[in-house]
């Protein structure tokens, strides 16, 4: 019998202008083209790259299969005074009703720092059972609390402010050497980039397998 | 959905090879029931004053269509599907009509028509009767013109019919909107219906015009 791929959660870490959003678009195309998984973006920064995605409300999440055509969706919270509640409701709905879907959390740094809310913890822990793939776009390792670093299976590392010689202890001990190695390699690669140009080098670390993807 | 990636520095997806395997999937849970919209909720909460006397709770009735609405919807459906069949039929008829004429015959017929008009002004009629070959061209050309004119007449939509169809399509859209069923597909469907029902006459005119021009050229 053919072995099936288990879903995973990805921490996509990089400073601004390092290609996180562009790579997220490429990953979404791959997920839809190769895996036929609908893609939803939780867009907290109104990024113009997602302007042409189909706009949905939280109430539409349990019914994504009713839409026809290519399934790229975006949810943009509408009430700035109630932002946190809307995001928690979004995560709660995902956990409860959404299955076999890819969700990209654009600019999600503040929700994964410090003590992560139980709704978000539940969502990350339940991702495998729900067969959902999650991609969290964040800015640096030092911003993240231990929970996300411990429970995400893949790190995609880009240029960050983190120092490879003194990484945050929130990163699980066994993975720290790989993260340090990845950051050193990325820094070396980015040195050749001219001033003002985007620094797009990246490394993909498979945390559970303890290796950097070549 | 969105423009292709054009960043010259893009190195593609950072998950190469990981997505080659088919994903494991699970059965999604039943979605929650759709909450009634404000107007539906108000409608449902209004109970008749005498309901207590009969000891029964009023049931929320499904939305009923008026007889006119049903007729209009049926007309829209018939027109939409019928229009497609008629269009196909018109193309076939035009091809068949074109095949009855040999190369240059229609151009000769048109010249003959002009000549006949000029002759009629001078009081001469039936100049072709004496020559059987000219008579044949004249008759063929006339048959060709009549076939195309009949096609155009068959598909003309009068103003009142057009208004009725437009009303039915609009009512259908409004109902979908009330039930929160409106999405891109229904809008695309409506546009298609409108094009097929309202612009059908123009489409037929285009087909027949093209057939005439082609026959006159060859």
Q: A-chain residues within 8 Å CB-CB of B22?
A: 2, 4-5, 35
Tokens 């008629």 sit on residue: B86
A49 part of a folded domain = yes
The predicted pLDDT at position B63 comes to 57
- B39-51 residue pLDDT tens: 555 555 444 444 4
Task: Determine the pLDDT at residue A90.
Answer: 95
Alpha-carbon distance B38 to nearest alpha carbon in chain A (angstroms): 16
Whether A2 is in a domain gets the answer no
8 Å CB contact of B23 and A37: yes
What is the largest distance, in Å, between two alpha-carbon atoms of chain A?
A: 52
Query: Is pLDDT at A102 greater than 90 in this prediction?
Result: yes
Dihedral of CA A160/A162/A163/A169: which sign? negative
pLDDT at position A75: 94
Counting runs of H as helices and runs of E as strands, what totals does chain A give? 6, 9
Give the model confidence (pLDDT) of A109-168 as tens digits. Answer: 999 998 899 999 999 999 999 999 999 999 999 999 999 999 999 999 999 999 999 999
Structure confidence at residue B12 (pLDDT): 66
List of residues 6+ apart from B31 with CB closer than 8 A: A62, A63, A97
Query: Is A24 in contact with A138 (CB distance < 8 Å)?
Result: no
Report domain extents, chain B. 74-217
What is the extent of the structural domain holding A193?
9-213
In a domain, residue A3? The reply is: no
Q: Return the pLDDT at B28.
A: 87
Contact B16 A213 (CB under 8 A): yes
Nearest to B22 among A5, A30, A154 (CB): A5
Q: A70: domain CATH number?
A: 3.40.50.300
Domain count, chain A: 1
- Inspect the interface and report whether the beta carbons of B13 and A23 lie closer than 8 Å: yes
Q: Which residue has the higher pLDDT, B26 or B195?
A: B26
Alpha carbon distance B73, A198 (integer Å): 57
Q: Is residue A4 part of a domain?
A: no
pLDDT at A161: 93
Q: Which residues of B touch A (CB under 8 A)?
A: 1-3, 5, 7, 9-29, 31-32, 34, 183-185
Q: How confident is the model at residue B184 (pLDDT cuts 50, 70, 90)?
A: low
Global pTM reads 0.58
| For testing contact with chain B, the best of A33, A58, A99, A101 (most B CBs within 10 A) | A99
The residue with greater pLDDT, B174 or A76, is A76
Nearest-Cα residue of chain A relative to residue B35:
A59
Mean pLDDT of A24-28: 93
Residue of higher predicted confidence among B144 and B67: B144
Strands (E), chain B: none
Mark yes or no for CB contact A49/B18 under 8 Å: no
Which tens digits make up the pLDDT trace of B85-99? Answer: 878 888 888 888 888
Contact A131 B24 (CB under 8 A): yes
């Amino acid at each position: 019998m053919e072995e099936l791929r288990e879903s995973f959660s990805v921490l996509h870490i990089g400073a601004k202008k390092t290609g996180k959003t562009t790579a997220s678009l490429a990953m979404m195309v791959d997920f839809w083209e190769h895996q036929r998984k609908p893609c939803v973006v939780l867009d907290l920064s109104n990024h113009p790259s997602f302007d042409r995605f189909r706009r949905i409300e939280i109430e539409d999440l349990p019914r994504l299969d009713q839409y026809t055509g290519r399934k790229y969706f975006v949810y943009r919270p509408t009430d700035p005074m109630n932002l946190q509640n809307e995001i928690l409701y979004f995560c709660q709905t995902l956990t409860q009703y959404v299955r076999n879907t890819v969700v990209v959390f654009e600019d999600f740094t503040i929700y994964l720092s410090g003590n992560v809310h139980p709704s978000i913890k539940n969502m990350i822990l339940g991702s495998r059972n729900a067969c959902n793939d999650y991609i969290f776009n964040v800015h640096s390792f030092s911003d993240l609390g231990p929970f996300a670093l411990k429970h995400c299976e893949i790190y995609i590392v880009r240029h960050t402010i983190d120092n490879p010689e003194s990484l945050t202890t929130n990163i699980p001990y066994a993975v720290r050497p790989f993260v340090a190695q990845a950051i050193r390699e990325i820094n070396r690669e980015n040195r050749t980039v001219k001033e003002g140009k985007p620094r797009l080098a990246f490394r993909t670390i498979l945390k559970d397998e303890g290796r950097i993807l070549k | 959905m969105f423009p292709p990636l054009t960043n010259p520095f893009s190195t593609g997806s950072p998950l190469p090879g990981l997505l080659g395997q088919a994903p494991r999937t699970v059965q999604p849970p039943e979605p929650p029931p759709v909450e009634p919209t404000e107007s539906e909720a108000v409608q449902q909460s209004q109970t008749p004053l005498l309901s207590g006397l009969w000891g029964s709770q009023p049931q929320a009735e499904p939305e009923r269509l008026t007889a006119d609405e049903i007729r209009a919807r049926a007309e829209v459906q018939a027109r939409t599907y019928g229009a497609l069949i008629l269009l196909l039929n018109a193309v076939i008829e035009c091809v068949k009509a074109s095949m009855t004429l040999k190369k240059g015959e229609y151009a000769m017929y048109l010249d003959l028509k002009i000549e006949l008009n000029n002759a009629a002004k001078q009081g001469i009629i039936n100049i072709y009767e004496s020559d059987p070959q000219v008579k044949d061209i004249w008759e063929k050309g006339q048959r060709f013109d009549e076939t195309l004119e009949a096609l155009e007449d068959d598909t003309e939509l009068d103003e009142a019919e057009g208004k009725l169809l437009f009303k039915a399509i609009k009512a259908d859209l409004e109902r979908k909107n009330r039930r929160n069923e409106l999405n891109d597909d229904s809008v695309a469907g409506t546009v298609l219906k409108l094009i097929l029902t309202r612009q059908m006459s123009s489409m037929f005119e285009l087909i027949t015009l093209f057939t005439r021009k082609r026959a006159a050229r060859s």
